[in-house]
Every structure is written in C-alpha cells, then in structure tokens.
Amino acid sequence: MNTQFHITRPDRAIEPALRDKIENLTKPKGSLGQLEELALQVGLIQQTLEPALRHPVNVIYAADHGIADEGISKSPKEVTRQVVFNFLNGGAGICFLARQHGFEIKIVDSGVDYDFPPIPQLIDRKIRKGTRNYLYEPAMTEEELDLAFQYGAGIVSDCYREGCNVISFGEMGVANTATSSLWMTCLTGIPLIDCVGAGSGLDAEGVRHKYEVLKQAFGRYEGDRRPLAVARHFGGYEMVMAVAGMLRAAELKMVILVDGFIMTNCVLLASRLYPEMLEYCVFGHRGDEAGHKRLLTYLGVRPLLSLGLRLGEGSGAVCAYPILDSAVRMINEMHTFQQAAITKYF
C-alpha cells in the first residue's frame, strides 16, 4: 500500500488536568456517567481543557459489490444508484438527521455500477463499476486498493481544510453487509455463521442462502488474514475508502463518530493496520445486524445508543452526535464548585 499514515495516541500529560476539571464541576463525582468519559476523550484528542466540535461532516461512500450477483441481498444492485439520487435530493434517512444536527453531507461515488451525469454535489472517485465477484476472484486489484486508500483519505483531508474536526462515515452498497461479515470472520476468528445477518431484510431462507454463498467464498480463499489481503480479496471500494478516511481522520486528530455494523468492520480493519486510531473513535450505536453486538464486544467498546437501527448511511453516528455535543457542553458550560461558591457535596 502506497498511502501511509502517521497516527499517534493522544498525549496523556493533560489527563490529570482534564479529570480535575470534570470532577470539580457542580455535580456529584461521576454523576454524568458516559458524558464525563466522552468529555475526557475529546479533551485528550484535542489536547485542551476547552474542547470544541466544529463543522461536523458525514461522508457517504457508495459502491456496488460483485457478490450481489449471487442473490444474497433483498435489494437488487440498481438500488445503490437509486439511493444515491435520494441522497442528492435530500430525501434519505441520513438527510433529515444531518439537517437536524447540523451536519454537512459529502456523497462520494466510489464505484457505483452506473454512469452518473456530472452532478456538482456528487464527488466522483469511481474506481470501477463495482467490485469483481469474490466468489470466483479477488474483488479488486492491488492498484485499485491503493487508489481507494488515496481517494478515501483525500476526501477527509478536504473536510479538515474546510474546518471539520468531528467526522462520521456512512456507506451505500448492496451486499456490503456480506462483505463486512467476511472481514469480521477473517480478522476476529469469530465463526462466519455468527457474523452473517439479514442485511436489508432477508428472511430466514435468505439468510441461509447468504451464509452458504459466503461460506463457499471463504472456503475458496487461499490468501492470509493480513488486513490488506482481506480488504483486497473481499473488498468493497466504499468500505476501503472508509478505512482510509478513518485513518486520515485519526492522523489529523479528528473525533471519529462510528456508525453501525459495516463501519465498525471498517474500524476493525483500520485498527489492525494502526491500533492507535481506536482512541479517536466514539461508537455511536449498536445496530440490529446479527454480528454487530459481537463485534463491539470483541473490540471492547460501548456504544452510545441502541435503537434497533440498521439503515447505515451514517445514520446511527449522526443520531448520537447530540450526546457528544452534550459532553463538550458539560465541560465548557457547567460551573465549578469554586465558581458557583458551592461546597462540594460528595
């Protein structure tokens, strides 16, 4: 891989001062629970006692998957480009959430199997009209993998230059829960059957068929379990771009809000390449896809929400943003006992 990142863990020297400030706000110690943990995390990421969230952006990478030809998704492949148009028209689920919570949305054609006309709001980073079918061959070439990393990181660099310091990622691509299941089993060792779920709404027979197809693809894989080998063989252009975007965000010391099953698998792969990036991640929600709870447990992380979401698009991450905002407001807007002239009552 030609794209390299320099990611360092946040400097812990400021941690005692952050904890002192949080513990001296006018409340019983620990009484704001996870908000206190979030405030500490953001303060460490930004290396300040007065953290701030600026210009939040949700980047949606969209691409098609060759494996969709095996009938493993309830949605046909043309749904990918139809949903992209819905994003552009402001009518998708992520759109109302972005409007509600003040997010800019960037929509990226990473590899949709469709020739879009020139559209100013659609960022063209198309590598190919969908990946190859990994039931029979690797999903992408080494050159395409490198290009996906370059493009994915570049989008985040643009967000950063525009003033963004908190970012979330979403995806659109029929059959990308299947790809995620294979990443999960390859990188964690959790049995494939425990990683496969209903995706966009398969019934029990559909899930069984999906599992059998993925079992065949996995059985034919002759590569190793190194992250880049897994990403290339069981690819998804949009997923690889999201991995690169997350790594670039961590390199730039941005707060990363993590969405559901697919994006958590992108975090899994990214963290296998650069373990330090996990300290920049805030996990927005636990989704309804079968393997998501297992994956969150494997990573040892606690999501902010559990609302039964399984839409993708970054919806769970953006939905969780007000909680992150509350944590930052807490550390900045609450008075200390000294300021309020209140005797500590704990």
Nearest-CA neighbor of 250 among 278, 222, 208? 278
Structure tokens given for 110: 């990473």
323 membership: H or E segment, kind and range: helix 315-333
For residue 221, count other CB atoms closer than 10 A to its CB: 17
CA-to-CA dists, residue 247 to 155, 166, 173, 213, 332, angstroms: 12, 13, 21, 31, 28
Cα distances (angstroms) measured from residue 139 to each of 112, 187, 230, 263, 330: 14, 17, 10, 19, 46
Instruction: Check 23, 70, 313, 333 and give the catalytic one.
Output: 313
> What is the distance of C-alpha 178 from the center of its chain?
16
Asked if residues 237 and 131 have their Cβ atoms less than 8 Å apart, the reply is yes
Give the whole-angstrom CA distance, residue 47 versus residue 324.
17
Task: Identify whether 50 is a catalytic site residue.
Answer: no
**How far is Cα 146 from Cα 151, in angstroms, rounded to an integer?**
9
Q: In what order do the strands lie in the sheet with 255-258?
A: 122-124, 104-111, 57-63, 166-172, 255-258, 281-283
Which positions are annotated as active-site residues?
A: 313
